[in-house]
Amino acid sequence: MSNQELKTLELEKVEGILHLRLNRPERRNAFNGEVISELARSFSEVSEDSGVRVVLLSGKGKSFSAGADLNWMQEQADLPAAENAAGAEEMARMFLAIARCKKPVVARIHGHALGGGSGLTAAADIAICAENTVFGLTEVKLGIIPAVISPFVLQKIGVSKARALFLTGERFDGREAERIGLVHRALPEDKLDQEVERVITELRSAGPEAIAQAKTLIQEVADLSLEDAIPLTSRRIAELRATPEAREGMGAFLDKRKPQWLE
């Protein structure tokens, strides 16, 4: 998608990095139907874009995302049941498009990441936040639940933490988000961009197909027993070490040169 087509996002591709910025700062980047549609389409398209190595998801203005726009949520509630359900599924599939993107997704989080904003955080592969960021699974305070984001959040923080945070709806800062595993690093805000750049540099040093396959491997192995994992993991490494990218990567290491994806 181009910026001319977008109303709620801003895209910028710089040296293989797609900067994808939520662009409703006047609403603290709360998402409505347009945001959901544009995010889902953008992540589906970039997943197949060979010119992109990393996606950096961020929010313009004072906050990453305050979650779902409550005016839009009320509009959805007033729809006929089938349309209401379809809108909810579209939102769920937007989070899935982020989580299943073949490119590594880095989230740069600041200000507020409430409700669905915490869901976006959980859907990203690597989440880095300012330590004063305000997080919260606050839906119960509004008489609803964090339904569509729950699978993504549970994968990050586990059932025990979810039982406390889903039920209380309490807010917590970036340091607590790091402690419970929702984000990977929480830093002073003036160090945030430096850490984001460091992570992106690490990602760019890896084989692009290897990263995509590593994401798939996590999905395939996570729920298997050690015994059941052996046939799958043995087959995957046997297949992948014979690929051109693997031959290039191992050859470059042995030859003490840069692999072709860094040249």
The set of catalytic residues is: 139
Can you tell me the distance from the alpha carbon of 44 to that of 117, in angstroms, rounded to the nearest whole number?
19
- Residue 259 CB neighbours (<10 A): 17
Here the tokens at position 119 are 């869901």
Contact indicator for 176, 132 with CB cutoff of 8 Å: no
Residues 6+ away with beta carbon under 8 Å from 58: 19, 20, 21, 22, 64, 107, 108, 109, 110
Q: Which DSSP string do the residues of 25-83 spell out, in sequence order?
A: GGGTT-B-HHHHHHHHHHHHHHTT-TT-SEEEEEESTT-SB--B-HHHHHHHHTS-HHH
Contact indicator for 152, 197 with CB cutoff of 8 Å: no
